[in-house]
Amino acid sequence: GQSLEQPSEVTAVEGAIVQINCTYQTSGFYGLSWYQQHDGGAPTFLSYNALDGLEETGRFSSFLSRSDSYGYLLLQELQMKDSASYFCAVSTGGFKTIFGAGTRLFVKA
Amino acid sequence: DVKVTQSSRYLVKRTGEKVFLECVQDMDHENMFWYRQDPGLGLRLIYFSYDVKMKEKGDIPEGYSVSREKKERFSLILESASTNQTSMYLCASSLKNTEAFFGQGTRLTVV
């Protein structure tokens, strides 16, 4: 079967750095995406990695290792507003994307 | 600003009712999707469409059907609602298979 594994919860302190890992096992792979969802809100796109390496967008970075079927989202200079759920998602081809169960990030003052 | 609009934020329906969830996007995207979101399970794909009148089953299509008569509109139909279809339903659209834009979701309760 196809699966994406990510931690269910992560807690960090304001101003710190946090890494959310995602390992995947899918029948096809075109790229790894990350989405953020605040309570009661819609998921919003953060990043997409098709090739190995690190992509940086402001305080957020995303990493992919295709050989290890692994990626992570790195959040720097954490702010209270970063408290949300974060989903990794794999584009498997044929317009399909599979989502992980999500990681709930709690940022403490 | 890009927009995906779902017709209702909250719905309460009775078991056995036929339920229509509507989604409209204003970005001229070819691809549209319906997901359901349940705690601990993430987003699961019900159906998707890559063109008008085209539809493909996702991972959990049982009990659902879809309609796409116009490019901007994608409807999800619950033929006979059941309590196990109580969930948050999310519509999304995308141009390529990279970034998806989501609507605000419809929280459906079947009683």
Q: pLDDT for A37-60, tens place per residue?
A: 999 899 999 999 999 999 998 999
**Cβ contact, residue pair B48, A99, below 8 Å:** no
Q: pLDDT for B61-88, tens place per residue?
A: 999 999 999 999 999 999 999 999 999 9
Q: pLDDT for A59-72, tens place per residue?
A: 999 999 999 999 99
Are the C-beta atoms of residues B31 and B99 closer than 8 Å to each other?
no
**Cβ contact, residue pair A45, B101, below 8 Å:** yes
CB contact residues (below 8 A), chain B span 56-75, against chain A: 56, 58-59
DSSP-derived 3-state class of residue B15:
coil
DSSP-derived 3-state class of residue B85:
helix
Query: Residue B66 — left, alpha, or beta (φ > 0 → left; ψ -120 to 50 → alpha)?
Result: beta
Instruction: Mark the ranges of chain B whose per-residue pLDDT is less than 70.
Output: 1-2
Q: In 3D, which of B40, B41, B37, B39 has the Cα closest to residue B92? A: B37
B45 burial type by CB count under 10 A (0-12 exposed, 13-18 middle, 19+ buried):
buried
Average pLDDT for residues A14-25, to the nearest whole number?
97
Measured between CA atoms, how close is B42 to chain A, in angstroms? 4
Write down the mean pLDDT value for chain A: 95
